[in-house]
Amino acid sequence: TEEWRAKYEKDGAVDLWVEEEFNAGSRLVGGRAVHLGRLPGQGSGEGPGLNDNVTMHTVTIQGGADDGSDITFEAAEDRYILFSAEAEGFSCPHACRNGCCTACTMTVVSGDVKQEQALGLNKRLKEEGYVLTCVAFPRSDLVLAPVPEEEAYQRQFGEAFDAMATNPNDPMYIERDDFALEIADMDE
């Protein structure tokens, strides 16, 4: 649109890091709120809900504070868990905010989430209780536990890459490129 071009393509190119509220998951749940005349992020999972009657849930992240203690906050059912934590002043791990990189992965100890936009987790990992907080909505009171930084990424992608990089006679063989893997994982 003309608004997009005026704001983001002034020099004929699109910056990869457009803005915090611009996220693939939000496109799937209602588009960019400001285009609809609402507050930034409203109704997208990233900002305030569409109304004041939304169900709230208590979320506890075990060992989520800098000193290793638990953090607890209220999260609206129509707002991503990561954004709710940040709104309460908590700093949680994240990178892409798109549900792809796995940096925000936690496991569900108890409770239920909805994470339709969690592209960075396969069905097996979701069934095992892994959740991407940047695109997950709480559906009940929750207790979450952080996972080691590379665990979900390694289980999602690394196992396959390792298998393909160890047998040069396999037709699916790839030459392992650790630098490319670091870039893909946003670890520079």
Which residues, 6 or more positions from 34, have their beta carbon under 8 angstroms from its beta carbon?
40
pLDDT reported for residue 32: 47
What average pLDDT does the segment 90-118 reach? 91
Confidence of residue 180 (pLDDT cuts 50, 70, 90): low
Q: What are phi and psi of 12, to 5 degrees?
A: 80, 10
Strand-pairing partners, residue 58, are 74
What average pLDDT does the segment 51-78 reach? 91
Question: Which range scores top for mean pLDDT: 27-36, 57-66, 77-86, 91-100?
Answer: 57-66
Structural domains of the chain, ranges and CATH numbers in brackets? 56-146 (3.10.20.30), 155-184 (no CATH)
Query: Considering only CA atoms, which of 95, 94, 82, 90 is closest in space to residue 65?
Result: 90
pLDDT reported for residue 149: 81
Least confident of 45-59, 67-81, 127-141: 45-59
Q: What percent of the chain has pLDDT over 90?
A: 31
Q: How far apart are CA 44 and CA 172, in angstroms?
A: 39
Range 176-180, long-range pairs (CB < 8 A, 24+ positions): none
What average pLDDT does the segment 126-142 reach? 95
Confidence of residue 99 (pLDDT cuts 50, 70, 90): confident
Give the full edge-to-edge strand order of the sheet including 105-110: 71-76, 56-61, 142-146, 105-110, 130-132
Look over the chain and give the mean of its residue pLDDT values, rounded to a whole number: 78
Helix (H) / strand (E) containing 132: strand 130-132
pTM > 0.85: no
Task: Give the CA diameter of the chain.
Answer: 60
